[in-house]
């Protein structure tokens, strides 16, 4: 029987197609690795330089666990779109113009990807949301297509009501708040916080409409979230969208559990290259350090960086502040004028990439100032670190509202949505930044309550990803559904 079950599992072949953002690539590859670990055959299709981001993890899986997972690379049309070889990801894109070219490059990959998928003849396609064409291909091949949404249920539910009811038309000004009806939590939004493509015709609206229409035709939509973080939203989401939503997060916790089973990393130095940061943290008190990081894409103006420096200094809190390459390399910009004077006993600067997960795990970290990128939120809450939320673009503002309602964060008071990661909103004042930091880090009754809520949420998230937990049950259900569809197509009933 065991051999028969293994043979049936091997017949379920799933193709994964990640997009051009690391924040999308990482969780989707996590899903691919988990499905392979549980006995499905997996192929990930990606351009060569994006594949380098996860190839070592896939190779390790094959070596230590025998997972049937492979990476199929595809030539990115760099010359055709006018980009240097190697720029296949938005992280490498310092301007919206280059982002547009990278996106166009992925549009040109549709036909080659379709050809590869037809050759592979899989039983299922799991693609990033930004590949709506995969639903047409799945229907042609008569196999299920699942769309991957790397963010929350709440923003999708809110989109439905905002688009249908045009709630923003009933307020007097952009700064006036309105309640989004029908949600499990009372969520109030300002018109200035809502995406422009929800309020009118924009260049991006057609893309959003294509994504949403493809999702409705999909077999299901996979989210890196869980019912503990979004109580009642999964049920509302399925009712509002008319399609099954699978919540299998936090995916990073699943991967941590999985990697602990397949390999012994005790001989590795996780802080290799960041020993100075670790030494500095070891000299700080428990829960005393603020970690400041805005992901890999946000581009602040020099004026905003200056206000941030003023606010963080005035808050007088030990801080690790991560600067991106684009921030520190400007000859006449903020970094050249202020970099050296910012460094000191109370401020540790990391230039470029930072080992965010490892830093958040350290006992000295007591808060995380973030733009509300969902992967970062999950990484922080998984280890019980409370948040200061500074929403800026994308779905950030819905996440900001959710976290404040759950008592997990202090909002910094930003209320202007930006159409891209190069910010166009007025600078937030140093005084507002200082106030938010002091509210979370000063050990008041408010901050103690938020810290306790974050610790409790960490326990809930851990339970959710363990056997019998809400997300674990959803993951197993997703695997069973993929197998069921595969067996049905070949005339075999699963045991």
pLDDT in tens, 414-457: 999 999 888 989 999 999 999 999 999 999 999 999 999 999 99
pLDDT at 470 over 80: yes
Is 194 among the domain residues? no
Are 209 and 353 in a shared domain? Answer: no
Q: Give the mean pLDDT of the chain.
A: 91
pLDDT given for residue 323 in this prediction: 85
Clarify whether residues 285 and 397 are in a common domain.
Answer: yes
Residue 262 confidence (pLDDT): 76
Active site residue 128: yes
pLDDT exceeds cutoff 80 at 340: no
Residue 182 maps to a domain: no
Nearest to 70 by CA among 129, 15, 6: 15
CATH number at residue 75: 3.40.50.2000
Q: Does residue 6 have a pLDDT over 90?
A: no
Domain, as residue range, for 273: 263-461
Q: Does a structural domain hold residue 43?
A: yes
Residues 271 and 337 in one domain: yes
Let me know whether 377 and 475 are in one domain: no
Of the residues 30, 61, 128, 415, which is catalytic? 128
The stretch 13-34 carries a mean pLDDT of: 97
Q: State yes or no: is 303 an active-site residue.
A: no
State how far the Cα of 255 lies from the Cα of 67, in Å rounded to an integer. 14
Residue 5 has pLDDT above 50, yes or no: no
Determine, yes or no, domain membership for 425: yes
Q: Tell me which of 24, 155, 219, 362 is the catalytic residue.
A: 24
Reported as a single tens digit per residue, the pLDDT across 197-244 is 999 899 899 999 999 999 999 999 999 999 999 999 999 999 999 999
Q: Looking at the structure, tell me whether residues 278 and 393 fall in a common domain.
A: yes
Residues 291 and 432 in one domain: yes
| Residue 300 and residue 375 share a domain | yes
What 3 state SS string does the chain have?
Answer: CHHHHHHHHHHCEEEEECCCCHHHHHHHHHHHHHHHHCCCEEEEEEEHHHHCCCHHHHHHHHHHHCCCEEEEEECCCHHHHCCCCCCCCHHHCCCHHHHHHHHHHHHHCHHHHHHHHHHHCCCEEEEECCCCHHHHHHHHHCCCEEEEECCCHHHHHHHHHHHHHCHHHHCCCCCCEEECCCCCCCCEEEHHHCCHHHHCCCCCHHHHHHHHHHHHCCCEEEECCCCCCCCCHHHHHHHHHCCCEEECCCHHHHHHHHHHHHCCCCCCCCCCCCHHHHHHHHCCCCCCEEEECCCCCCECCHHHHHHHHHHHHHHCCCEEEEECHHHHCCCCCHHHHHHHHHCECCEEEEECCCCHHHHHHCCCEEEEEECCCHHHHHHHHHCCCCEEECCCECCHHHHHHHHHHCCCEEECCCCCCECCCECCCCCCCHHHHHHHHHHHHCCCHHHHHHHHHHHHHHHHHHHHCCCCCHHHHHHHHHHHHHHHHHHHHHCCCCC
Contact (CB, 8 A) for 83 and 58: no
Asked if the structure places residue 169 within a domain, the reply is no
Q: In this structure, are 453 and 476 located in the same domain?
A: no
What is the count of structural domains for the chain?
A: 2
pLDDT > 70? residue 10: no
- In this structure, the answer to whether residues 395 and 484 fall within a common structural domain is no
Question: Does some domain include residue 255?
Answer: yes
Q: Which of 1-5, 278-282, 384-388 has the lowest mean pLDDT?
A: 1-5
Do residue 147 and residue 55 come from a single domain?
Answer: yes
In the predicted structure, residue 326 carries a pLDDT above the cut 90: no
pTM: 0.94
């Amino acid at each position: 029987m065991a051999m028969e079950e293994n043979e049936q599992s091997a017949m379920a072949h799933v193709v994964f197609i990640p997009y051009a953002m690391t924040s999308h690539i990482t969780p989707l590859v996590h899903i691919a690795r988990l499905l392979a670990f549980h006995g499905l055959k997996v192929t990930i299709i990606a351009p060569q330089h994006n594949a380098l981001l996860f190839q070592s993890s896939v190779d390790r899986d094959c070596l230590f666990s025998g997972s049937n997972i492979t990476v199929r690379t595809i030539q990115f049309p760099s010359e055709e779109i006018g980009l240097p070889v190697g720029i296949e990801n938005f992280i490498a894109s310092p301007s919206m113009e280059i982002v547009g070219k990278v996106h166009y490059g992925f549009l040109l990959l549709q036909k080659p990807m379709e050809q590869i998928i037809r050759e592979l003849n899989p039983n299922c396609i799991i693609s990033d949301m930004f590949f709506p064409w995969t639903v047409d291909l799945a229907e042609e091949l008569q196999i299920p297509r699942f769309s991957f949404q790397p963010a929350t249920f709440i923003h999708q539910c809110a989109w439905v009501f905002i688009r249908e009811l045009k709630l923003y038309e009933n307020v007097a000004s952009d700064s006036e708040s309105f309640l989004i009806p029908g949600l499990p939590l009372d969520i109030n939004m300002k018109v200035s916080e809502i995406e422009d493509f929800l309020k009118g015709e924009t260049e991006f609206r057609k893309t959003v409409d294509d994504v949403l229409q493809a999702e409705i035709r999909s077999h299901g939509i996979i989210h890196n979230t869980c019912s503990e973080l979004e109580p009642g939203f999964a049920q509302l989401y399925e009712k509002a969208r008319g399609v099954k939503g699978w919540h299998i997060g936090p995916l990073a916790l699943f991967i941590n559990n999985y990697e602990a089973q397949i390999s012994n990393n005790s001989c590795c130095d996780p802080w290799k290259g960041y020993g100075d940061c670790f030494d500095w943290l070891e000299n700080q008190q428990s829960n005393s350090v603020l970690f400041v990081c805005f992901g890999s894409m946000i581009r602040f103006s020099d004026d905003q960086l200056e206000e941030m420096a003023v606010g963080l200094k005035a808050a007088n809190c030990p801080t690790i502040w991560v600067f991106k390459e684009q921030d520190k390399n400007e000859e006449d910009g903020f970094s050249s004028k202020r970099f050296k004077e910012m460094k000191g006993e109370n401020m540790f600067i990391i230039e470029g990439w930072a080992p965010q997960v490892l830093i958040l795990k350290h006992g000295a970290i007591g808060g995380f100032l973030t733009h509300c990128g969902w992967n970062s939120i999950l990484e922080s809450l998984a280890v019980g670190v409370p948040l200061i939320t500074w929403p800026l673009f994308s779905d950030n503002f819905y996440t900001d509202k959710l976290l404040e309602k759950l008592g997990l964060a202090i909002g910094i008071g930003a209320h202007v949505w930006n159409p891209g990661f190069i910010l166009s909103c007025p600078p937030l004042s140093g005084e507002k930044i200082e106030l938010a930091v002091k509210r979370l880090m000063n050990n008041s009754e408010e901050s103690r309550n938020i810290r306790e809520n974050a610790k409790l949420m960490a326990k809930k998230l851990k339970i959710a990803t363990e056997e019998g937990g809400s997300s674990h049950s959803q993951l197993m259900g997703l695997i069973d559904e993929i197998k069921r569809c595969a067996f049905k197509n070949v005339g075999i009933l699963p045991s």
